[in-house]
Amino acid sequence: MTQNRPVNINLFKIKLPLSAFLSITHRISGILIFFLVLPFSVVAYSELTKSQGSFDNFMNIYDTYLGIKLGCIFLTLIFQYHIFTGFRHILMDFHIISENLSSSYKSAVVTLALFVLNALLTIWIML
């Protein structure tokens, strides 16, 4: 057998293409949505719609504590990132974006640029 094969793979030394990085982070954001965003959204929606007093209490907590506000922004950005990268995957699945390396890289750059612009707008609105 050949002796040039690596014995152990150091994942920190492997340079992933940008499209592979987006694919992996899309999956991670999906896991975070399931375990963080959805439970928080259900609890927040339940509290916000219980009564006018609970809505005012929640908004008072949101306006008072920066950590709560940053947490809400972070959860919103996770969801938005998943939507942006998911839309890119759908376009690739329907062959609207071809699957060669150059168009995959370009679509990854466009996706990240649109997400960053949207994230800045979201942060500006929510702060």
Residues 42-91 pLDDT 10s: 999 999 999 999 999 999 999 999 999 999 999 999 999 999 999 999 99
Say yes or no to pLDDT of 94 above 90. Answer: yes
In a domain, 5, yes or no: no
What is the C-alpha radius of gyration for the chain, rounded to an integer number of angstroms? 20
Q: What is the mean pLDDT of the chain?
A: 93
Please state the pTM of the whole predicted model: 0.88
Is 1 inside any structural domain? Answer: no
Give me the pLDDT at residue 72, please: 96
The mean per-residue pLDDT over the stretch 106-127 comes to 97
Domain of residue 28: give its range: 18-126
Q: Provide the domain count of the chain.
A: 1
Residues 6+ apart with CB under 8 A from 91: 97, 107
3 within some domain: no
The CATH number that applies at residue 94 is 1.20.1300.10
Determine what percent of the chain is predicted with pLDDT higher than 90: 83
